[in-house]
Structure 1
Amino acid sequence: MSDTEAFLRAHTAIAAPALVPEISLHLATEITPIWQATEAWLAQEGIEPPFWAFAWPGSQAMARLILDAPPHAAGRRVLDFAAGCGLAAIAAAQAGAALAEAAEIDPLAIAAIRLNAALNNVAVTPLDGDVVGAPCRWDLILAGDVCYEAPMTAHILPWLRAMAAAGAEVWLADPGRAYVPREGLAEMARFAVPVTRELEDRDMREVTIARLLP
């Protein structure tokens, strides 16, 4: 076991997301302890929050939709973009995706994706680094809860629209963040996702899943 895997196991517990009980993940129960532990372990302050340690509502909603309707992913090349813990990619793999990839820029997230895929006995390929700008080689791109900051949205949205124009089906799962686009979306489904006040200002988030139009 690598030092990274040992760290992840030591600071998480195996749990199932509220909306997707079929999938088990290595998750943190509180954000402050895992954040502080990550800073101490990396000997670096001011790092990004440990997004990989939580099953965010957008990813839960996409995973639920895929598991309820496997043909969305079955036989297709699927990318879980800004994947966090890899939940949506795991659901795609369980639904029979020909290829399930999960892209993340955080090395700890990459390690978490590997652990979580192994925990669920599915094949998910982590992609370490920023895939924005890459040519389209996917049939379905899953982007859950990615429009929470203006710089992030400005960085990724043109590329996601280009992927849609190149023939990929691109899903945006939005739980009401400020910077989600208001045009060029075709709504597919809505889910009420239980959330924790450790991460949100309420107990439930309504997540809209929409197809991004080119």
Structure 2
Amino acid sequence: MPNELRTLHPGTTTLSDPAFVREKTRLTLVPFVPEIRLHMADDAITLWESTEEARGEIGLPPPFWAFAWAGGVAVARYLLDHPGLVAGHTVLDLAAGSGLVGIAAALRGATSVRAAEIDAYAVAAIGINAEANGVRVDAAVEDLLDGDGAPAEVVLAGDVFYERTMAARFLPFLERAQARGAVVLVGDPGRAYLPRERFTALASYEVPVVADLEDAALKRTTVWQLG
């Protein structure tokens, strides 16, 4: 799921965040992944403006947590169809957004799922989305990209190669995770900065997306394994 690199401000998580998420979204089935329900918004621009008003700030990043992005949908679909990948393993959902990928892993028997985000609203959304699907996902506002994702045995990233600077941080992280033995999967709907020569394609899907957020109503999206 896309996310932007930005500076964390201590104390950004507030008790009002879950209430804000519930107020501005509705719980609905995820297209192409009907096993999962998420709190999603109907209008990106309206929600974006509401977020800035609630925070009293202008120029906040878009509310990536309120939509099911193609990369995350593809990875979630793959996990639901191939439960052996995560069953009995510890999982890290990186740049987790709504928590869709982590929820899919939990539904398919992961022993634990950790979701990392740098947006407090996303962390709030992950909590209520996990609850709506009857699973546990431990989410926190944290930037893990200087590490290697340990101790997670499976590292998942829904959609993180759409911006050059972001890709330059994510790729070394994922390579460090893979080097220590983790299985690393990413979902990608044809973003510009995925180094495809370093990955192996596992599956491709025609994923329905919100046309206002993408350049088409369907995005050909591939699940890739690093190495």
**Under TM normalisation by the shorter chain, which class is it?**
over 0.9
Q: Distance in 1 between matches of 2:123 and 2:206?
A: 28
Instruction: Provide the C-alpha distance between the structure 2 equivalents of 1:98 and 1:84, rounded to a whole number of angstroms.
Output: 21
Amino acid at match of 2:61: E
2:217 aligns with 203
For residue 124 of structure 1, the aligned residue among 137, 140, 145 is 137
**SS across alignment from 1:22:** strand
Aligned to 1:57: 70
- 1:119 & 1:180 partners in 2: Cα distance? 32
2:62 & 2:15 partners in 1: Cα distance?
22
1:2 positional shift: 3.4
Find 1:159's aligned residue among 166, 173, 179.
173
Cα separation, 2, equivalents of 1:89 and 1:172: 13
Q: In the alignment, which of 155, 172, 193 is matched to residue 141 of structure 1? A: 155
Fraction of identical pairs, as percent:
45
**Which runs of 5 or more residues in structure 1 are unaligned?**
none
User: Please, what TM-score do these two structures have when normalized by structure 2?
Assistant: 0.91
Q: CA deviation at 1:76?
A: 0.5
1:177 Cα offset (Å): 0.7
Does the 8 Å CA contact 2:107/2:135 hold for their aligned counterparts? yes
Q: TM-score, structure 1 length as denominator? A: 0.97
Alpha-carbon distance in 2 for matches of 1:104, 1:96:
22
Matched, 1:38 2:51: yes
Post-superposition offset of 1:184: 1.1
The CA distance in 2 between the partners of 1:111 and 1:131, in whole Å, is 18
**What do residues 114-141 of structure 1 show as CA deviations (whole Å, max 9, x unaligned)?**
0100111101100321011224211111
- The Cα of 1:101 is off from its aligned counterpart by 1.0
Number of residue pairs the alignment of both structures matches:
213
Q: How does 1:1-214 map to 2 (within 5 A)?
A: 2-135=15-148, 136-213=150-227
Amino acid of the residue matched to residue 192 of structure 2?
Answer: A
